[in-house]
Amino acid sequence: MALPTKPFAPSCDRNSGPILGVLRRHFADRRTVLEIGSGTGQHAVAFASELPHLTWQTSDLAESLPGIGLWLEEARLPNLPPPLELDVSRPWPATRYDAAFSANTLHIMSWSAVQQLFERLAEALADDATLAIYGPFNYGGRFTSRSNADFDAWLKERSPVMGIRDFEAVGALARSAGLQLLEDCAMPANNRTLVWRRAESGRTRTLRDAREAEPPRPDPPSACSAGS
């Protein structure tokens, strides 16, 4: 049987630096981070090495865990525990984290899975938790660039349930989980990093109340912008 090879995504090398700049600001006072959909494991190694005060918990579907494990074994960082198997369609362990991070996941998940993700986060995050999500987003139902429109078309060729998500719709899910937008940062290659903080001592709000609490933002800010 062939031994598994360590996976590698060039995009992780390119975007780790800009993402790290955002995480340094918002995860400075955090202690335990759940990374959802760790993919290759590259981000985990990059961020855990630069943010040693954090225990960085990787997670993904079962088929991705061996590749993540190879990155973690090579790095041998004390703040990188073994990866967890997590699936949004199944219950998660009853562990609570004061931060969570996910990169390039929402557009490869079905919309129902994105909804399930935020439902799981409502239970997994501590009362004052911070959530950071990186990836492409539409604003006001429009693509922010031609490259994002082309990427969305490519995703839908792979699967009709995939696609770039609307900032407003994801924001409503976050608010329904008791999260308030802190920052919306422009990233290279027409991506964003969105940062939320648990605003109401973990108490979830209704989707209707969440939508009324924050007006829609039809156009993305050109750089980092504080949430409404």
Q: Where do the domains of the chain lie?
A: 10-226
- Look at residue 90 in the predicted model and tell me its pLDDT: 95
pTM of the model as a whole: 0.90
State the pLDDT confidence band at 5, using cuts at 50, 70 and 90: confident
Query: Which three-class secondary structure state does DSSP give residue 33?
Result: strand
Query: Strand 137-138 and strand 165-166: pairing?
Result: parallel
pLDDT averaged over every residue in the chain: 91
User: How do residues 163-177 score in pLDDT, each as one tens digit?
Assistant: 999 999 999 999 999
What is the CATH topology of the domain spanning 10-226?
Rossmann fold (3.40.50)
Torsion of CA 82, 59, 55, 133, to 10 degrees: 160
